[in-house]
Amino acid sequence: MKELIREPSAKEQAHCSMNEPIKTGDRCEVIAGALGPKGPNVGKLVTVGQVRGEHSEHGRIWRCHGEGLITEYGAVGNEADFAQAWLRKLPPETLTPPQREEVLHDT
């Protein structure tokens, strides 16, 4: 009996990539923080930067970049540190930047 092999759909590919570990350059949504799910950065979108180290309680800590991020000291800036568990990886964008511009200009 022959087995049919099919290519994974775009949705399946995005799902697979979201199961991969977080790495530098990934886009993520902040889903928690030191104050739990009510932290000031919850809901913000960030780009993952460098690993800052391992925390004894929170695990891997990433330096992330985004707009209006509140640091653990209360300062507002464009980078802050987040535990990996506080980040939800977003699917990769399917349009390249020039294609995205064309779509925006066509509407």
pLDDT in tens, 35-56: 999 999 999 999 999 999 999 9
Domain that residue 27 falls in? 15-106
List, as one string, the DSSP characters of 6-75.
-PPPHHHHHHHHHHSPP-TT-EEEE--BTTBTTSTTTT-EEEEEEEEEEETTTEEEEEEEEEEEEPTTS-
Question: Which residues, in sequence order, are CB contacts of 34 under 8 Å at separation 6+?
Answer: 72
Nearest to 69 by CA among 51, 35, 43: 43
pLDDT in tens, 53-97: 999 999 999 999 999 999 989 999 999 999 999 999 999 875 555
Q: For residue 72, tell me if it sits in a domain.
A: yes
| Count of the separate structural domains present in the chain | 1
pTM of the model: 0.70
We report the CATH number of the domain holding residue 55 as: 2.30.30
Q: 79: helix, coil or strand? A: strand
Q: For residue 5, tell me if it sits in a domain.
A: no
